[in-house]
Structure 1
Amino acid sequence: MKAIGKTIRQIRLIKSMKQKDFSEVSQAGIANIESSRKNITLDKLISILDDFGMSLREFEYIRNDYKLSPTDNLFLDFTNVKNSVDRVQGKKLLTQLSSHLEEYPTDFIAYCLYIVEDVILKITAQNSYNIESPEAFEIWSILYGRSAWTYQEVYIMSKLFFVFPVELGTSMIDRIEREMANYVDFLKDIHFDATFYTNVGKYYTHQNQFMLGKKYLNQALPLCEKYDRVIIENDVYAYLAIIDYLEGNMEAEAEVLDCVNRFHAMRKPDLAEDLESDWNTFFKEKVLN
């Protein structure tokens, strides 16, 4: 990774800026920073980036020769894997994470991603949410004591809470919501809030907490419309129909199966199979009297 000063000079030249063109750092100050004769404070770096019209994240990307850091790259791969249905990609990612951790054993984010992916693969393989994962409890105990979470930690916990008992899971959901409020815009490119509320609604449905399930599923719906996320929206409608069925409306089964067929129509057979499997395994015979 290049020196900060060298990267500042590189970007300045790309933007055809002179050393005197910065609003809060003098020409001499920029010269000293670029030549590494003087260390740069965070405040000055942020000011320079404002003059560049650039985020710190993009600056670090350029500084790393236009590459993501290994951890950021793995995190991006994780967000792109359809965790519940794509076992092949999930196993491939698990192998990548394992190799990364051999080289960087103290990388906490990579470790968390490894545990989450491992848990998801076990859920998929066993077709059950009753997964024993002491490592997941360890991650929660570490993060619980922190005053704030990074956006990666928020995202990780949004994928991990559903393996915990409902009382602890509810505490996690409350904490995730508080932390998520700081990062909704930052994570909007992966529709973090819509996905999270959908998963929470599904979690409470599996826990027979139907009022809470409907609450979160209904929070997800307008977000799905806002982001034009028809796939997530179909999942939401399916689980609202499942709750309706479990509360005694036998006709709601037709809506669940319609959602399965809509996934097929969207050319998403894996999602159709996943929903149909959930329906047959967890809900079809579980009617509340």
Structure 2
Amino acid sequence: MNTYGYILKKIRTNKSLSQKYVSSGCIDRTSLSKIETNTIVPSIHTLIGLISKLDVSLDEFEYIRNNYQLSNKQKLLSEFLSLVSNFDIKSINQIINKCNINLINTPDDVLIKEIRSICIASTYLAKNEYEMAQKNITAVWRRLERVEQYTLTEIKLVCNILFFFPHDVVLKFTPRLLLMIDRYIEFDKSLYALKVSLLINSALLVRKYTPNNSSSHLKEAISISKQINRYDLLAIAKFSLGYLSADTAMSKQAKKIFFAIDQEEIYYHLKKELEN
């Protein structure tokens, strides 16, 4: 990985910005020169001030510093959060294997251990072994339920394990999660897709207890899915709402979307789940 000074200088010169401009209001020009030549290492406060003058985010800076690549941990988190379905066992097992490899070098990494636990739980859930699924994420849940304000990563983790729990837990946490997502959504637009997934999952989990609430969530999920052009989520939401409201036309329309985007496997799993 490249040094902070090397990347600061690389971005600055690529943008044709002077040391005087970048250092202004942050540090003196001589100190910036020493940072760029790796004579001194900037503090985090100084680094944030300098990269803000370069109009890049800290995440982007680190991405450039890592030769335009995500770290292994970032790749793993990205793959985990990109799972379209909890029934995609092949992809889930691949993530479990990557977690095991990463944990050889960093055995105490909390995030990777929790991702692995959630994925293992998903394999049990796919086999309808609910008790084993819950057992595998108990430790994850106990940590997360003690957190008063979730960070983005924790919001995403909670959304991925909420469906393992009884309907009363889902009813309790869903409003709180939706509020937290809305708080962050301007910062991270990808949360729109996560919000849709949460609306769908919560609707299906509590459909027998609060059918009106489920229908409302699915209608909102359909609306947002259209706005963000997520046809996979649109198909899931429309098929679920069609099934719950006995709207065969909507269900058939959703089925066509599933087959058009080559997601027949998700369609059959969803159909089976709703019929049980």
The answer as to whether partners of 1:130 and 1:163 remain within 8 angstroms in 2 is: no
Match of 2:185 in 1: 184
Residue 7 (structure 1) aligned with residue 2 (structure 2): no
In the aligned structure 2, how far is the partner of 1:202 from the partner of 1:166? 10
CA offsets, 1:36-87, max 9 Å, x none? 4445343432222222111110111122232212211101111233333322
Instruction: Structure 2: give runs of 5+ residues left out of the alignment.
Output: none
TM-superposed deviation, 1:253? 5.0
Match of 1:273 in 2: 268
Tell me the number of residue pairs that the alignment of Structure 1 and Structure 2 aligns. 273
In the aligned structure 2, how far is the partner of 1:276 from the partner of 1:29? 63
Match of 2:258 in 1: 263
In the aligned structure 1, how far is the partner of 2:184 from the partner of 2:52? 20
In the aligned structure 1, how far is the partner of 2:94 from the partner of 2:134? 21
- Identity of matched residues, %: 19
Alignment of 1:207-218 (within 5 A): 207-218=208-219
The answer as to whether partners of 2:124 and 2:133 remain within 8 angstroms in 1 is: no
TM-superposed deviation, 1:147? 3.6
The answer as to whether partners of 1:109 and 1:153 remain within 8 angstroms in 2 is: no
RMSD across aligned positions (CA): 2.4
Matched residue type, 1:264: F
Alignment of 1:1-289 (within 5 A): 1-22=1-22, 23-25=24-26, 26-124=28-126, 126-127=127-128, 131-189=132-190, 191-205=193-207, 207-245=208-246, 252=247, 255-280=250-275, 282=276
The answer as to whether partners of 1:202 and 1:213 remain within 8 angstroms in 2 is: yes
CA offsets, 1:147-203, max 9 Å, x none? 432212211111100111122223332332233233323442362222222222222
The answer as to whether partners of 2:144 and 2:158 remain within 8 angstroms in 1 is: no
In the aligned structure 1, how far is the partner of 2:88 from the partner of 2:223? 27
Q: More displaced, 171-180 or 194-203?
A: 171-180
SS in 2 for 1:160: helix
Q: What's the TM-score once normalised by structure 1's chain length?
A: 0.84
The answer as to whether partners of 1:237 and 1:259 remain within 8 angstroms in 2 is: yes
Q: What's the TM-score once normalised by structure 2's chain length?
A: 0.87
Matched residue type, 1:162: F
The answer as to whether partners of 2:258 and 2:267 remain within 8 angstroms in 1 is: yes
TM-superposed deviation, 1:255? 4.2
CA offsets, 1:120-144, max 9 Å, x none? 22212x1465554234222122122
In the aligned structure 2, how far is the partner of 1:64 from the partner of 1:34? 17
